[in-house]
Amino acid sequence: MEENNVFTGKTREEAENNACLALGLTREELETEVLEEGKKKLFGSVKWKIRATRKVSDGVRAARYVEGLLNVMGVKAECTAEEEEDLIKLLIDAEDSKRVIGKHGEVLEAIQCLAGAVANIGRDKYVKVSADCRNYRKQRDEALADLAHRAAKKAMETGRKVMLNPMNPYERRIIHSTLGGSGVKTLSAGKEPMRYVEIIPENVDENARPIKFGATEKRGRGQGGHAGGNGNGKRGSKPFRKNDRRSKPASGEKRAKKEIRFGTYLGNSGDAGKEE
């Protein structure tokens, strides 16, 4: 063995055999780079020269890629790979985990997609890659399963179709698998990136207006739960304020004020999702 794991031989096969013997590896574990091809000359010959190292697994290669990618993003992180026959699990540990995960896991999904492409370079058989950061996946899956059960209960109690917020393909699969065989039917509708899941009970009233379930609580704060409204379901009308010049508000304005309080309460309540 020479410096920098460079090996020579009269043929390429001989050079690789010399590398295997020196490194204690099999041919399958060996990764080689040809530095110089052997040639026959009028007087003598030039030997084959190769650089040989232990072959890096697809999982390790993907993990190194993720670490490099996060480093470019300015995030210090360590990524390890757990490899199974048809699955590579990438576990990311970073102090600034929020930047790795992103809103609703969007950054983590992008990292997983890129790592999957890297891991499958040169493979004949596709291997699935899953990326996780500080157990986010498990927590997210549990939250989605809980959302699915609550939405299904709402659908069966009201007999109306329930529409969930737009989700990525992974999240929609969690909803479908959670409610499989639960007495409701689930369908994906809409177009990416606004594709969502519909939950349809067996006793659905086709004429009833669908229920939008899972809207963000922030939308309800100060607006009575209506986007762009003021709590009474009407756009443009203003609720009564204490500093209004009028001494006595109209009866309609009193109702608007009460509804605003009700909506604000829902928006700040931990049970807000149950009322949506």
Cα 276 to chain center, whole Å? 25
For the chain (276 residues), the mean pLDDT of every run of 10, in chain order, is 76 91 88 87 82 90 96 95 94 95 92 96 92 95 95 95 93 95 93 94 91 57 36 41 47 42 30 36
Strands 128-133 and 87-94 come out as: parallel
Strands 30-36 and 39-40 come out as: unpaired
Number of H helices, E strands in the chain: 9, 12
Pairwise CA distance, residues 221 & 267, whole Å:
5
The pair of structure tokens assigned to 255 is: 């109702």
pLDDT at 93: 97
pLDDT at 72: 95
Pairwise CA distance, residues 126 & 11, whole Å:
33
Has this prediction a pTM greater than 0.75?
A: no
Pairwise CA distance, residues 195 & 172, whole Å:
9
Q: 178, 140 in Cβ contact below 8 A?
A: no
pLDDT at 263: 31
Residue 2 Ramachandran class (φ > 0 left, ψ -120 to 50 alpha, else beta): beta
pLDDT at 28: 83
